[in-house]
Amino acid sequence: MVNTGAAAEPAGPAQDEVTGQPSDEPREECGVFGVWAPGEDVAKLSYFGLFALQHRGQEGAGIAVGDDDNIVVFKDTGLVSQVFDESVLNALQGDVAIGHTRYSTAGGNSWDNVQPMFRTSPNGTDVALAHNGNLTNYQALQEEAIAKRLIPAEGVEGQGSSSDTAVVSALLADGIREGASLIDAARELLPRIEGAFCFMVTDGRTLYAARDPHGVRPLVLGRLENGWVVASETCALDIVGATFVRDIEPGELIAIDGSGVRTERFASTPRAHCVFEYVYVARPDSVIEGRSVHASRIDIGKRLASVRPVDADLVMPVPESGTPAAIGYAEESGIPFKQGLMKNAYVGRTFIQPSDTLRQLGLRLKLNPVREIIDGKKLVVVDDSIVRGNTQRKLITMLREAGAAEVHVRIASPPVKWPCFYGIDFASPGELIANNGGGGDDTAVSESIRTVIGADSLAFVSTDDMIAATRQPADTLCAACFTGTYPLGLPEGNPNADLVRRIQKGEY
């Protein structure tokens, strides 16, 4: 059974929600949350868990609740607070729930693609599935599902869904036939799925979770007094009062019900955790593979100050993601830290289209300088990354208009030169500012970008220092967006992936 509200559809994923222009920020992927807790209000636990994971996707949200006999799914486009209210949550009653907050990386942003996905198997078992990540063999899986007539060639779920999650849902449900259970179907399907994924699945009785063999995206297990929680990040455990137990291992499939937590491995390959989770994606109060995200970002800032010092009066962040690195830079350099930019916390994704006049205001709707802090000062401005450079150029102009004497930019990640195919939506190679000048030499690239954005100086943290700040072995991390080395390979049938192949072969 699928239920839905009727919120309007947000703007397309490639556009900034205020200016209507192509976004200049890395786009997060998705957040997943699951809870098995008989006697608890699992829908409200999921709601608060998704609130903690809202930063991972702002285009759609959904919760599926099971009560043994039925699964009820409620989902819609919009933020978690826009999709759910008290009456909806009170109607979602059961012992097990999975939730999802979405940013579209495969499939357009429409109601059909909002998760969890719902399917009924040939033996009548209801299945709900939520997914964080991106599949590199999606095209082959889609062709298989079409060949089996599980989905029409033009889409899934009411002829509309084009997401990899919809395809996986169809294949998983099809595997639950007479004499086979959901876990039997998962054992057959999971080893055939390639790419980055964290799946949350339920048949209304049991909570299942799986993490891809490389462990690209984080997934953690937590303990409630009367149950268990699985979530994308530890911050979601904190908000629902769950105690962190452990990370779900790469290639691990777990099942949670009245018998406890059962676990098995479906694959084993070299690890490739996403380093950008530490830099930008994850909330700073989360812990990934035993390392505090906040501590990693502080350390990156300190390393930047050590190798890229500057004579300045103030260190200030681009809030919020640049704040920990700016604190680290200030601590290491001894330059005072101040909040010279005020962020409007209520400017998020909006369904109200701004006028041309408001679009011209652009960045000021989100960030506004504090003139009395900035006027006459030499500033070190710390940001997490540069994608297209549009935001930094406008920001520097705004700071100079507020009286800044000098603006020195420090970036808490290396230049982004390559697209991500594992769940983060960067621009195509030609749209990335790091590829538009400099001839590939890092010093020349920095100087080219500095000129474009109008900074007095610009420096990036090195790849080695960024990795060192995570305290993870370099050979267990994926840094493809910085290095062009793709540990999970490149997807077929993807124009950006085809372009990357040509560039790497020297054909472009």
Mean pLDDT of 413-441: 83
> Phi/psi at 441 (nearest 5 deg)?
-70, 130
> Phi/psi at 32 (nearest 5 deg)?
-120, 150
Mean pLDDT of 382-397: 92
Topology annotation, domain 292-347+359-505: Rossmann fold (3.40.50)
10-24, 197-211, 414-428 — most confident range: 197-211
Region label for 305, one of left (φ > 0), alpha (ψ between -120 and 50) or beta (otherwise)? alpha
Question: Residue 106: which pLDDT band, with cuts at 50, 70 and 90?
Answer: very low
Q: Is 198 annotated as a binding residue?
A: no
Of the listed ranges 32-41, 68-77, 436-445, 466-475, the one predicted with least confidence? 436-445
Mean pLDDT of 347-373: 68
Would you say residue 214 has pLDDT above 70?
A: yes
Whole-prediction pTM value?
A: 0.89
Would you say residue 293 has pLDDT above 70?
A: yes
Q: Do domains 31-269 and 292-347+359-505 have the same CATH topology?
A: no
Residue percentage of the chain with pLDDT more than 70: 87
pLDDT at position 358, please?
58
Are 484 and 414 in contact by the 8 Å Cβ rule? The answer is: no
Nearest to 416 by CA among 471, 468, 496, 479: 479
End-to-end Cα distance, the chain? 50
| Residue 354 one-letter amino acid | P
Q: 235 catalytic, yes or no?
A: no
Q: Checking DSSP bridges between strand 2-4 and strand 71-77, what pairing results, if any?
A: parallel
Selected catalytic residue, list 18, 30, 97, 190: 30
The string of pLDDT tens digits covering residues 62-71 is 999 999 879 9
Tell me: cis bond preceding 194? Omega within 30 of 0 counts: no
Q: Is 274 annotated as a binding residue?
A: yes
Mean pLDDT of 248-265: 97
The string of pLDDT tens digits covering residues 113-164 is 899 999 999 999 999 999 999 999 998 999 999 999 998 876 544 444 557 8
Are 367 and 318 in contact by the 8 Å Cβ rule? The answer is: yes
Domain boundaries, the chain: 31-269, 292-347+359-505
pLDDT at position 49, please?
98
**pLDDT top residue among 213 and 13:** 213
Mean pLDDT of 77-89: 94
Would you say residue 205 has pLDDT above 60?
A: yes
Q: Name the superfamily (CATH) of residues 31-269.
A: Aminohydrolase, N-terminal nucleophile (Ntn) domain (3.60.20.10)
Q: Is 321 annotated as a binding residue?
A: yes
pLDDT at position 339, please?
95
Mean pLDDT of 319-343: 95
Would you say residue 351 has pLDDT above 80?
A: no
pLDDT at position 4, please?
37
Question: Residue 391: which pLDDT band, with cuts at 50, 70 and 90?
Answer: confident
Q: Is 235 annotated as a binding residue?
A: no
Would you say residue 211 has pLDDT above 80?
A: yes
pLDDT at position 5, please?
36
Q: Is 257 annotated as a binding residue?
A: no
Residues 6+ apart with CB under 8 A from 50: 31, 33, 61, 63, 80, 99, 100, 101, 236
**pLDDT top residue among 403 and 12:** 403
Question: Residue 295: which pLDDT band, with cuts at 50, 70 and 90?
Answer: very high
Would you say residue 8 has pLDDT above 60?
A: no
User: What average pLDDT does the chain have?
Assistant: 88
Q: Is 481 annotated as a binding residue?
A: yes
Question: Residue 443: which pLDDT band, with cuts at 50, 70 and 90?
Answer: confident
